[in-house]
Amino acid sequence: MPVALQLTGIRKTFDGFVALDNAAFSAEWGEVHALLGENGAGKSSLMNIAAGLYAPEAGQMFLDDNPVRLAGPSDAARHHIGMVHQHFKLVRPFTAAENILLGNPISREDGSYRSKLRRMETAIRETAAELGFELDPTKRVAQLSVAEQQRVEILKVLLAGAKILILDEPAAVLTDQESERLLSTVAQLARRGSAVILVTHKMADVKTYADRVTVMRGGRTIDTVDPKVTQAAELVRLTVGEAITSPKRESRTPGEVRLGVRELKSSGAGIALNGVNLQVRAGEIYGLAGVGGNGQGELANAIMGLPALLDGSMELEGLGDLKAASTSERREMQIATIPADRYGLALAGGLSVAENFGIGQVHAGRYGSFWKLAKSKMETDAKEAVKAFDVQGVRSIRQKAALLSGGNAQKLVISREFSKAPKLVLAHSPSRGLDVRASAEVHGRLLAARDAGAAVLLISEDLDEVMSLADRIGVMVRGRIVAEFPQPASRQEIGQAMVDHA
């Protein structure tokens, strides 16, 4: 049988930086082929070439053993290649169905736009049910959680007829149960003849679902092995070149209540928040677990100060109700935020590394005014922060932040947010899409903030992350916290709480 996809001798540079150097990869029909590597290893760049987003400067691409040169993503779609990107490519004001209809074969059929949209909505519901999750195709993307947006992306490529599926961190924002259902379905698609490429950092998923795994490091292909006979420790060694030690959570006695949320409700359309009550104490990490779309994003937005109609209160120790505070006032209160969408809410990709670092303190006058910035001082501070927080891939602090890998972009966000000792840290899915090393570093920063006396609210759909970091764990379902668990907590009991109140 011909090889579904093969890339050989691939080279790609960005602004003089070599992202791929003689990289190679192949996927066969009927297999799930995992792709491992640290953030910045070249995985996404290589797959973006396979999906027609980038053109290689050297090397060849083969489909069914025939050489091809893709003219763009639409050309890749015509060759039945579909990629679900880690950072979604959706039109936020459009509904889920409208997003999926864009560029879909249904859009070229006869009939009115309304009839095509209705057929698409039906197809979405049916395919979602086959994949084991629910999705309202009539909701606007801006109203969907990160996990729900990922489902839209997956359905978009499947309904467009993709036979070669490239999934970039598909389980990063899913619960254990959702991830298991999705990856089981993906494995079934492969068994039916599709070629599935799974870009992931979860060793358990590689061991369970992948038929082969290729490891990349520094833009080069290191090795391709059978994950069923290769130990996880060896895969980690191939990925990072050395052993990684994750920070350990040690029990502590927390201080006074730093953040108190009481009967917080959405007073506008919908019931995203339906009476949230929680307390986060100084010197503790409160982990909030739950299936995406149950109000976690709305709670994070409320604490960050994004516009919303809310009833109830959010009291910050010694500073009163947060609802009355502007976003700039919240920064002055030393609230650090790590949003789930780091590129949409935490960074401006078109601005430089230095500008992204300094913008958080411009309002306080540290670097002058918006009209006359003290750029030299800002760049000096940015250089020190980049070094202190080990932000890799920064060839110049004047380079665009968009050129950083996911892990290093996250470290840039943390360097800015932690540049002043925070009193409250809001971390929403902080290690989403990050590799083993970057995740360990981010977790270490959160634990260090807690040990320094900060109150940390950790919102994550990765139950492993919550259980490894949190001192107390709450479960959020349908806009309210339905159960709380002290550590050590039972994974089964937490999962049961999610199911019982759904």
Phi/psi of residue 74, each to 5°?
Answer: -65, -35
Overall average pLDDT of the 224-234 stretch: 90
Nearest to 155 by CA among 73, 95, 72, 71: 95
Most confident of 92-106, 329-343, 444-458: 444-458
For 396-426, the pLDDT digits (tens) are 899 999 888 777 888 899 888 888 888 999 9
AA letter at 300 = A
Q: Which string of b and e fits 33-60 if b means at least 16 CB within 10 Å?
A: bbbbbbbbbbbbbbbbbbbbbbebeebe
Overall average pLDDT of the 12-21 stretch: 84
Regarding pTM above 0.75, the answer is no
For 131-184, the pLDDT digits (tens) are 777 889 999 998 887 778 888 998 999 898 899 999 987 876 566 667 787 788
d(CA 189, CA 192): 5
Three-class DSSP category at 287: strand
**Residue pointed to by tokens 């976690």:** 296
Confidence at 39, pLDDT banded by 50, 70, 90: low
Does residue 474 contact residue 493 with C-beta atoms inside 8 Å?
A: no
Nearest to 301 by CA among 343, 259, 339: 339
CATH superfamily of 3-240: P-loop containing nucleotide triphosphate hydrolases (3.40.50.300)
Write the DSSP string, 200-240. Answer: ---HHHHHHH-SEEEEEETTEEEEEE-TTTS-HHHHHHHHH
Output 488 or 196, whichever has higher pLDDT: 196
Most confident of 34-38, 236-240, 249-253, 357-361: 34-38
pLDDT at site 118: 93
**Residue pointed to by tokens 């891939």:** 393
Three-class DSSP category at 285: strand
* pLDDT value at 244 more than 80: no
* pLDDT value at 366 more than 90: no
Percent of the chain with pLDDT over 90: 40
- Total Cβ atoms within 10 A of residue 193: 11
Average pLDDT, the chain: 86
**Residue pointed to by tokens 């880690």:** 86
pLDDT at site 175: 61
Q: What is the DSSP letter of 432?
A: T
Q: What are the extents of the domains in the chain?
A: 3-240, 257-334+421-500
**Residue pointed to by tokens 């499947």:** 158
Nearest to 266 by CA among 316, 317, 291, 301: 301
Confidence at 218, pLDDT banded by 50, 70, 90: confident
Does residue 477 contact residue 260 with C-beta atoms inside 8 Å?
A: no
d(CA 81, CA 74): 9
Confidence at 501, pLDDT banded by 50, 70, 90: low
Same fold yes or no, 3-240 and 257-334+421-500: yes
User: Could you tell me the fold of the domain covering 257-334+421-500?
Assistant: Rossmann fold (3.40.50)
> 365: Cβ–Cβ under 8 A, 6 or more apart, which residues?
none
Bridge partners (DSSP) of residue 28 are 3
pLDDT at site 434: 72
Write the DSSP string, 72-134. Answer: SHHHHHHTTEEEE-SS----TTSBHHHHHHTT-GGGGSSS-HHHHHHHHHHHHHHHHHHHT--
Confidence at 343, pLDDT banded by 50, 70, 90: confident
Confidence at 269, pLDDT banded by 50, 70, 90: low
Task: Name the token pair of 256.
Answer: 């006074």
* pLDDT value at 279 more than 60: yes
For 293-331, the pLDDT digits (tens) are 788 888 998 888 887 778 888 998 877 778 878 777 787
Q: Which string of b and e fits 361-392 if b means at least 16 CB within 10 Å?
A: bbbeeebeeeeebebeebbebbbebbeebebe
Confidence at 462, pLDDT banded by 50, 70, 90: confident
